[in-house]
Structure 1
């Protein structure tokens, strides 16, 4: 199947062709026809599966089919959990509408940038708004935006937005938009809380669920045993030997990302750090440099684990393991995008060896545990012991504690 089979208009097909996109991904193949049929969607797919284009393409097709007259009104509202993802969704709209005679007007509403300019853009008229929940609610509270013409409501990375407290803000947002609209929900996972949000937004959504194995099968996963203090030297050794061109390294803390990036620069690597403590301008520049291959190694917090569209990452490294198996899948999904292959390396230390067993069990994988000559793991992996279960009836009651306190006072 090719993109031509969707029957999209020539300007969109031309943009796809110029971007070198010929065949749709699995999620695009399943979702695009349903959106064109005006159906609500609940799609489950990992990052890197191409889900952004699966809603951008049919929305642009609808825009071409309805040449609206007069000042643009907000017809599409896309909500994204992070600034970077919002910027990238807007860029996808721009790239795929490049050859339209009348292009949709797009605005990105995010924190960390000048709100007065964003308000001015909204007041001048926009067809598509891509926003983080916090910033759009801020603008709604100022009564500076009219969402009464919204036809499409898109939630991208819905589960991530939940982590950021989105559930409380959703009701306020739904009050501002028409009840008759098309709802498109995309999420890597669908825990109970995401299903609660979905039930508030739509009652008749078509479910499109892709299995995780379909999206990670092109990734070569490696697990390498190494002592914590030798990880930095081992990473340098691997980068030199295997000549990975664009490497994303996940760190547990912002400070560790900064420190290791500085250390690698001293060893001659084009390395930078990327995390939430950088201001928005720095984050934008760093991402652009990484995309343009001016940075070879990017040391990042989990801010880059989801939703960021960075092509041609050849290797992802879990310098520090993620907390959950789901985060492991999100992280390694940064490589092997758009049908390409990639490598994901996890460092197993004495401290995290048992935790990786849990990740393997929950992710349905069983990797060979490698050792690299000169960096062999020394010592025995730590077994985390559970605390002893409380013995019923042995714990002092509140009354007992109060009696003891009174007795002490009387004896003073």
Structure 2
């Protein structure tokens, strides 16, 4: 066994001795294959660590010097922005920190630029929408546009403010405007005057105004009357019930009086001035106010002033009688006025004064062409005045371009609600409205106005109230002129307690001591809501407005209503407060829609714009059938 054990041991030793040599040979043989990339080629690129690459990129962005990394053995210098002298490690750390801070600042600036560009994109989109719906021509006659006639200076009048008013400094005038919350913009703005006597009104007119309880002018009259007397073009914006009608009626009466004194009018001559209203009822109300002032002056020995009412539904014989004597003032609706001018019943050759009452509606879709057509009959420069409680930015910008050095007078935000009105919004299901209406009528004593935007619904409400023993009348565009006038007269005289009306009675009408307005149906446009609730809370009195809303009311309209209530510091009902509001948090930066003035949406979401597009496509005009046409 010994030899065999020995031989096996020697064999194992021989195997163990030979095994390492065999493995070494395998490694040596395979090394050229595995490490073939280390060939004898000195043109390869050196490996750069990730941290070094990051530092190089940051230094390149920061522009802090040349960056070059030498390959080992390549003989290329390495410059990292650090000088040869000094500690390379410390300098590299400092430069890395500086570069990172600079990069962070650049990143923040880039993000701010991107955010700004988003806001700019939204603004650009709104501008494009407005440009697409803007009027192509300014508000002027066809002759003026065709011949390129433009007037640089406003008309001159004989009126001058008292000497002590003219001696005021501009700073003193601004302080007075601030005191009365009047914002006036324009070139050479006439001074504000705080009483009628200093405006040089005749004593009979002063006595007449005092007899009606008008002892001192309202803010819009303080600035508006001197501006109009001075012959300046004007845009007057003030809340409902603020006395805008007197601000444009007194100047036209005074100008007519002056013309009659210079040279009395004879048959076929006139008018001196013209007031255009969107509805018959508003035109008649304005006419009656001017006629009373003309009669007061005539009774006091002043020259007689002829006033013509030019609306549909009245006797042509009555109009012919006034025109036969020569007349000074025309109060009209667009439809009948165009008809009379086209038939050459009278001309505008001597007319130098034009006022558009509720001008935003007069210039709006459907009425703009009528106004242009009327202006084409003017033969000379005229003084143009535009008045409204709601004047969206789109209409205001267009009007400013069309007038001559206009003075823009604002009393409160355009489209804001009268602060003398308590606004209450109730969620009432459609089927429960009639019953709840009876409860609402118990809130105040009569008279009360109930508004609905549907003519059939107006008739239904009146019938229901009559069945319940409530003295009610109804008025809408499909009623005859006699029916409309009967409703207005019986309601104003107090014979009827409730008037149910469509939008035809929402703008401008002045009813005595209306204590309560009920919006049976919330209007689609917030402008109409402002005008409707404005039938109460007039001349400094307090009124209540109750509005019914339900699931049929558009969400955009509800958002506009919510912001209007917030602006007037009214109570916000829980169902309005819970609305999903995409504009929440914008705060003071929130601006109203340029098309309708609503605060709850932007131009691209404007319901009025969509409605106008539908009407334009269908070929319909604005209004409710007969309100402003004839």
Query: Which structure 2 segments of 5+ residues have no match?
Result: 1-193, 581-630
- Deviation per CA, 1:92-134, whole angstroms, max 9, x where unpaired? 1012233213331101111122335424532431110111111
Rounded Cα–Cα distance in structure 1 between residues aligned with 2:265 and 2:356: 28
Q: Which residue of 2 aligns with 1:409?
A: none
Aligned pairs for 1:12-411 (under 5 A) are: 12-66=205-259, 67=261, 68-71=263-266, 73-100=270-297, 101=301, 102-163=303-364, 165-187=366-388, 188-193=390-395, 195-196=397-398, 199-200=401-402, 202-212=403-413, 216-240=418-442, 242-352=443-553, 354=555, 357-363=558-564, 365=566, 367-369=571-573
Q: Say whether 1:6 aligns with 2:203.
A: no
Q: In structure 2, do the counterparts of structure 1 residues 331 and 38 end up closer, same or farther at CA, with 3 Å as the change threshold?
A: same
CA contact (8 A) 1:162 1:194 kept: no
Q: In structure 2, do the counterparts of structure 1 residues 54 and 121 end up closer, same or farther at CA, with 3 Å as the change threshold?
A: same
Query: Which structure 1 segments of 5+ residues have no match?
Result: 372-379, 383-412
CA contact (8 A) 1:79 1:156 kept: yes
State the secondary structure of the residue aligned to 1:216: coil
Q: Which has the higher strand share?
A: 1
State the secondary structure of the residue aligned to 1:330: helix
- Deviation per CA, 1:303-356, whole angstroms, max 9, x where unpaired? 111111212111111111010122111111111011111001111323338455
Q: In structure 2, do the counterparts of structure 1 residues 164 and 353 end up closer, same or farther at CA, with 3 Å as the change threshold?
A: closer
- Deviation per CA, 1:121-176, whole angstroms, max 9, x where unpaired? 32431110111111111111112212111121111111212346222233332232
Rounded Cα–Cα distance in structure 1 between residues aligned with 2:386 and 2:327: 22
- Deviation per CA, 1:22-57, whole angstroms, max 9, x where unpaired? 122221111011111221111122332211100111
- Deviation per CA, 1:62-96, whole angstroms, max 9, x where unpaired? 33444132415210111111111111111110122
State the secondary structure of the residue aligned to 2:438: helix
Rounded Cα–Cα distance in structure 2 between residues aligned with 1:120 and 1:164: 35
| Count of matched residue positions in the alignment of Structure 1 and Structure 2 | 373
CA RMSD after TM alignment: 2.6
Q: TM-score, normalised by structure 2?
A: 0.56
Q: In structure 2, do the counterparts of structure 1 residues 364 and 262 end up closer, same or farther at CA, with 3 Å as the change threshold?
A: closer
Once the two structures are overlaid, the 10-residue window that deviates more, 356-365 or 261-270, is 356-365
- Deviation per CA, 1:228-274, whole angstroms, max 9, x where unpaired? 2222212212323x233111111121111111111111111111111
Q: Note the C-alpha offset of 1:60.
A: 2.1
State the secondary structure of the residue aligned to 2:296: coil
Rounded Cα–Cα distance in structure 1 between residues aligned with 2:395 and 2:408: 17
Q: Note the C-alpha offset of 1:59.
A: 2.4
Q: In structure 2, do the counterparts of structure 1 residues 158 and 381 end up closer, same or farther at CA, with 3 Å as the change threshold?
A: closer
Rounded Cα–Cα distance in structure 2 between residues aligned with 1:300 and 1:256: 10
Rounded Cα–Cα distance in structure 1 between residues aligned with 2:518 and 2:573: 15
Once the two structures are overlaid, the 10-residue window that deviates more, 296-305 or 189-198, is 189-198
Q: TM-score, normalised by structure 1?
A: 0.83
Rounded Cα–Cα distance in structure 1 between residues aligned with 2:494 and 2:427: 29
State the secondary structure of the residue aligned to 1:149: coil
CA contact (8 A) 1:43 1:207 kept: yes
State the secondary structure of the residue aligned to 2:500: strand
- Deviation per CA, 1:269-298, whole angstroms, max 9, x where unpaired? 111111001011111110111111111111
Rounded Cα–Cα distance in structure 1 between residues aligned with 2:291 and 2:348: 21
CA contact (8 A) 1:123 1:144 kept: no
CA contact (8 A) 1:351 1:381 kept: no
Structure 1 or 2, whichever has the larger Rg, is 2
State the secondary structure of the residue aligned to 2:401: helix
Rounded Cα–Cα distance in structure 2 between residues aligned with 1:103 and 1:70: 10
Rounded Cα–Cα distance in structure 2 between residues aligned with 1:221 and 1:189: 21
